[in-house]
Amino acid sequence: MRSLTGKRPRSVAGQVFVLQVAVVLLLAAGAVLALVLQSRHDGEREARNRSIAVAETFGRSLGLQEALRAPDPSEILQPLAEETRERAGVDFIVVMDTSGIRYTHPQPDRIGERFVGTIEPSLDGRVHTESVEGPLGQEIQAVVPVTADDGEVVALVSAGLTVQNVSGVVERQLPVILGVSAAALAVATAGTALVARRLRRQTHGLGTLEMTRMYEHHDAVLHAVREGVLITDGDGRLLLANDEAKRLLGLPPDAEGRHVGQLPHLDEQMAALLLSGREATDEVLSAGDRLLVVNQRPTKPHGQPEGSAVTIRDSTEMRVLTGRADAARRRLQLLYDAGIGIGTTLDVRRTAEELADVAVPRFADFVTVDLADQVLHGDEPTGTGADLRRTAVGGIRDDQPLYPRGKLIDFLPSTPQARGLGSGQAELVPDLSDAPGWFAQDPPVAQSIIDYGIHSLITAPLKARGVVLGLVNFWRMEKQEPFDDDDLSLAEELVARAAVSIDNARRYTREHTVAVALQRSLLPRGLPEHSAVEVAHYYLPAQSGVGGDWFDVIPLSGSRVALVVGDVVGHGLHAAATMGRLRTAVHNFSSLDLPPDELLSRLDDLVQRIDHNGEDGADADDDGMLGATCLYAVYDPVSRRCVMARAGHPPPLVVHPDGPVEIFQLPTGPPLGLGGMPFETAELVLAEGSQLVLYTDGLIEDRTRDIDEGLELLRSALSRHPDRHPEESCRAILDVLLPARPRDDVALLVARTRTLGPDRVAEWDVPFEPSAVAAMRAVAAKKLAEWDLSALAFGTELILSELITNAIRYGSAPVRMRLLRDRTLTCEVSDASSTSPHLRYAATTDEGGRGLFLVAQLSQRWGTRYTSAGKVIWAEQALPGESGEPEQELLGFFDIDEIDIDTV
């Protein structure tokens, strides 16, 4: 193409070539100048550094100061200075005194003259460099001090180079610099020529005028066509978009030059296609209310992919097909969302509400869910009646006239709901105003529904495993078109999925209810009142199901009390049943008055046997015991000693009456069921009013904190209030530590200690001889009279007579007798032997064997407990006024007139 004037102007490539060559020349000249200046600067710096190094080395050389003290220092120093100068490559080395009079110089006639330069800084002990006009010409010199051992400056040394020699180094480097710059200029010029040649080939040698006219022609054609054209580069940037493309895609006027991902109003599918760069042929995409047919081809100039060319056509005739595809997509999305959003919890009511939430407003304007009452309680519906309770109501508005939540509805046989419940199939009512069977259910309410604008209904039964659990009603109001058969199919699929979730929630509700009932029946319904401790407790099952946490307060002999907290691993019926086994076992073992470590050992053996039986037994559903922990503590209100042991359980906390809170670190034993390891006890003395806090790990463990943090929170909740009632301490702990939805059971036991004072305890040493029995009866009767318990004197004397006689006859010394006045009167006789008496029936001809039988008849309870020093046999009697008159009971058992107490 030629210009209109007939002359061929300089091409764009030529103009660019000239400009690039000029730029390269300027850059090369600047580089040469910079290198020359830098080299000269570096030379001067090197001269200063070398001068300083030579002067300092010479000034510190051995023998210099001795030479300075010689009669003629020049005679010694001049040869040394010249030899050093030649070897060091400097022009001069001058040694002078502190007045600047030279001792050495390269020109011997200069020796004895004054040094040319500044010496004052060096006299002060500093190194000084300078450029001066000296005897050798322009010089760069350094002056350094020569100091004696005491630091006094005794002479000066100067070394340096002439500027001519420094410049000579630069001049020797200049050819190299110029050669390198020339080579760089040649390479840059060659590169510029290649770039200009490539540009000339790309522009076909056209000048600016020809290129402008060609661009105008192409632009006119590009924007006149009724097909969108887009061109993008390899980085996803929009290079060109004609008017039609901007109209179809809703692009802004400044779209060109922007990244495709940053263009507003561009459909995500269209943007993804443009950024992918893949080849596309007649691909249909939606953009707003248009359907576009898109073709895309990658552009590959010279075989290298560098972008894409895209053409777009408007294809609104495919809208109907796209509408059907979109409807199918929405339905699939609704079913997908239903699979995710329905059944997130195992609560029947919440699952019904989730069904309503998913269906409104995408499928229906209002949704109601009606379930049988048995389903709400976890049971399976047994009847075929149409009585259902409205469980969930959801809609686009809250003022709808439908039956409210909680109403029990009895559907008439003519209603589509009743037909659906009977057949198990969904029913479609396209027009509610023309549905007399539905209208007959409740004419006023039905008319208000029609007047409200609700005009179409689908009712579908909730059926799982062949059992109808309830039904779901879908109501339409906003959309004018009624429900159709496609909607009916979708409703059936949606309800079928929800029915499975509701049935799962129902079955879980049943199991959870049974487990809770079982566990609460196994837990103590009320803790006994006891003089040793004042107790408060709390239990909360986990949200995921009841577990095996338990607690107990067990009265023991001698007014003592056992405090127990345990935890069985797992949840559900198995964990609750296992907890019941362990709690019963603890009660049985505690009745034997076993020490805490021995009780845990027996409990550990029991758990191992249960596990072994669970593995070898025929019941495949019995999973055995997965593990358990326990803490067992025994508190004696007389001695105020508390002995405890634990098996894998968290440590207890002790709140002292004066305020401090202590985490009592008693030895940690293995969890129950592992075996092979003994348990250890720890003992502490508790002041009256101390609080002992026992708990399970569900209280201190949480997903948001670790156990140590939970223990510190528990400690802080108990601190600063040592005088609180156990109930208040319990509430304070729960306010701080109890999570909103606990993952594990929480059991808490708070016990405040009491004591039995000396006024309620009497103790005597018993002489180890049979004649001491009568004396012991006498002192016991006297103490009972002091306690105003003379009504119990007869029975107490009989009990003590039998127990002391047995201790002296069958036991060993020492023997002691103790009376405790508490809620009962306790008689205790201890000796050093470990032989325990046993109750038996004496034959008619036996002379003995009836003593313990009398003790059992006269007391409420009796028994034996072993100690480290022997054994204690005890018997408890009810106080007067609590269980009848003891004297009257004895009169019915004995003939008092025939008994001589002194001979018993």
Is 640 or 19 the better-scoring residue by pLDDT? 640
Question: What's the rounded Cα separation, in Å, for the pair 91 and 142?
Answer: 12
**Mean pLDDT value of segment 639-650:** 94
- Per-residue pLDDT tens over the stretch 61-120: 878 888 888 888 888 888 888 888 888 888 888 999 888 888 898 888 888 888 888 888
Domain around 659: 526-753
pLDDT of residue 826: 92
If asked whether residues 383 and 446 sit together in one domain, one would say yes
Alpha helices per DSSP H over 203-303: 208-224, 243-249, 268-276
If asked whether residues 651 and 505 sit together in one domain, one would say no
Percent share of the chain, pLDDT over 90 = 26
Q: Are 373 and 389 in contact (CB under 8 A)?
A: yes
Give the distance between the most distant pair of CA atoms in the chain. 161
Q: Are 483 and 396 in contact (CB under 8 A)?
A: no
pLDDT of residue 471: 92
Residue 168 counted as domain residue: no
Instruction: Determine which of 268-272, 476-480, 582-586 has the lowest per-residue pLDDT on average.
Output: 268-272
Question: What's the rounded Cα separation, in Å, for the pair 822 and 825?
Answer: 6
Q: Are 792 and 877 in contact (CB under 8 A)?
A: yes
**What is the SS3 assignment for 720?**
coil
Residue 43 counted as domain residue: no
Q: Are 661 and 720 in contact (CB under 8 A)?
A: no
Phi-psi domain of 94 (left: phi exceeds 0; alpha: psi -120 through 50; beta: other): beta
Among the candidates 512, 540, 565, a domain finishes at 512
Q: Are 671 and 629 in contact (CB under 8 A)?
A: yes
If asked whether residues 402 and 295 sit together in one domain, one would say no
Predicted confidence (pLDDT) at residue 10 exceeds the cutoff of 80: no
The one-letter code for the residue type at 347 is D
Residue 474 counted as domain residue: yes
**Mean pLDDT value of segment 238-258:** 85
Phi, psi of 414 (to 5 degrees): -80, -10
If asked whether residues 580 and 599 sit together in one domain, one would say yes
What H or E segment, with its residue span, contains residue 298?
strand 290-299
Assess whether the previous peptide bond of 361 is cis (omega < 30° from 0).
yes
> Going by C-beta distance under 8 Å and a sequence separation of 6 or more, which residues neighbour residue 780?
762, 793, 796, 797, 800, 817, 819, 827
pLDDT of residue 577: 80
If asked whether residues 118 and 73 sit together in one domain, one would say yes
Predicted confidence (pLDDT) at residue 850 exceeds the cutoff of 70: no
Residues linked to residue 191 through DSSP beta bridges, in sequence order: none
Structure tokens at 256: 């060109």
**Mean pLDDT value of segment 264-269:** 84
pLDDT of residue 2: 43
pLDDT of residue 625: 52
Residue 191 counted as domain residue: no
Residue 520 counted as domain residue: no
Q: Are 471 and 388 in contact (CB under 8 A)?
A: yes
Among the candidates 119, 134, 161, a domain finishes at 161
Q: Are 229 and 246 in contact (CB under 8 A)?
A: no
The count of residues in the chain is 904
What H or E segment, with its residue span, contains residue 825?
strand 824-831
Q: Are 247 and 314 in contact (CB under 8 A)?
A: no
Question: What's the rounded Cα separation, in Å, for the pair 64 and 49?
Answer: 22
Question: What's the rounded Cα separation, in Å, for the pair 123 and 375?
Answer: 109
Q: How far is CA 32 from CA 23, 29, 43, 168, 170, in A?
A: 14, 5, 16, 17, 13
Is 344 or 888 the better-scoring residue by pLDDT? 344
pLDDT of residue 207: 64
Assess whether the previous peptide bond of 770 is cis (omega < 30° from 0).
no
Structure tokens at 570: 């797992």
| CATH code of residue 661 | 3.60.40.10
Structure tokens at 735: 């306010």
Q: What is the 3-state secondary structure (H, E, C) of 101-142?
A: EECCCCCHHHCCCECCCCCHHHHCCCCEEEEEEECCEEEEEE
Predicted confidence (pLDDT) at residue 691 exceeds the cutoff of 80: yes
If asked whether residues 664 and 782 sit together in one domain, one would say no
| CATH code of residue 270 | 3.30.450.20
If asked whether residues 578 and 691 sit together in one domain, one would say yes
Assess whether the previous peptide bond of 416 is cis (omega < 30° from 0).
no
Q: Which of 178, 161, 144 is nearest to 35 (CA)?
A: 178
Q: How many CB atoms lie within 10 A of CB 133?
A: 11
**Mean pLDDT value of segment 467-480:** 91
Q: Are 762 and 818 in contact (CB under 8 A)?
A: yes
Helices 485-522 and 573-590: angle between axes, nearest 10 degrees = 0
**Mean pLDDT value of segment 856-885:** 82
Q: How open is the CA angle 110-111-115, to the nearest 5 degrees?
A: 75
H helices, E strands: number in the chain:
24, 31
If asked whether residues 560 and 703 sit together in one domain, one would say yes
Residue 828 counted as domain residue: yes
**Mean pLDDT value of segment 221-243:** 83
Residue 79 counted as domain residue: yes
Read off the DSSP letter of residue 72: -
pLDDT confidence of 447, banded at 50, 70, 90?
very high
Phi, psi of 550 (to 5 degrees): -150, 165
Q: What is the 3-state secondary structure (H, E, C) of 755-791?
A: CCCHHHEEEEEECCCCCHHHHHHHHHHHHHHHCCCHH
Phi, psi of 598 (to 5 degrees): -70, -35
The one-letter code for the residue type at 1 is M
What does the DSSP assignment read for 624-642? ----EEEEEEEEETTTTEE
pLDDT confidence of 177, banded at 50, 70, 90?
low
**Mean pLDDT value of segment 391-420:** 91
pLDDT of residue 845: 47
> Going by C-beta distance under 8 Å and a sequence separation of 6 or more, which residues neighbour residue 904?
797, 798, 801
Q: Which of 137, 158, 145, 177 is nearest to 30 (CA)?
A: 177
Go through 9-27 and write b for each residue having 16 or more CB atoms within 10 A of its CB, e for each that does not.
Answer: eebbbeebbeebbeebeee
Parallel, antiparallel or unpaired: strands 746-753 and 761-766: unpaired
pLDDT confidence of 298, banded at 50, 70, 90?
confident
Q: Are 821 and 757 in contact (CB under 8 A)?
A: no
pLDDT of residue 897: 47
**Mean pLDDT value of segment 295-312:** 77
Residue 189 counted as domain residue: no
Question: What's the rounded Cα separation, in Å, for the pair 724 and 682?
Answer: 26
Q: How far is CA 33 from CA 43, 47, 707, in A?
A: 15, 21, 74
As a whole number, the mean pLDDT across the chain is: 82
pLDDT of residue 896: 43
| CATH code of residue 460 | 3.30.450.40
Predicted confidence (pLDDT) at residue 30 exceeds the cutoff of 80: no
Predicted confidence (pLDDT) at residue 849 exceeds the cutoff of 60: no
Q: What is the 3-state secondary structure (H, E, C) of 149-204?
A: CCCCEEEEEEEEEEHHHHHHHHHHHHHHHHHHHHHHHHHHHHHHHHHHHHHHHHCC
Total number of domains in the chain: 5
If asked whether residues 813 and 738 sit together in one domain, one would say no
If asked whether residues 589 and 648 sit together in one domain, one would say yes
Structure tokens at 794: 């007869």
Model pTM greater than 0.75? no
pLDDT of residue 65: 81
Structure tokens at 773: 């029995």
Percent share of the chain, pLDDT over 70 = 85
If asked whether residues 601 and 680 sit together in one domain, one would say yes
If asked whether residues 730 and 814 sit together in one domain, one would say no
Structure tokens at 285: 């995409």
| Matching residue, tokens 């803790």 | 527
- Per-residue pLDDT tens over the stretch 654-668: 999 988 999 998 998
**What is the SS3 assignment for 460?**
strand
Instruction: Determine which of 35-49, 263-277, 399-413, 447-461 has the lowest per-residue pLDDT on average.
Output: 35-49
What H or E segment, with its residue span, contains residue 538?
strand 533-540
Among the candidates 512, 537, 570, a domain finishes at 512
Which stretch, 314-328, 367-381, 637-651, 740-754, has highest mean pLDDT?
637-651
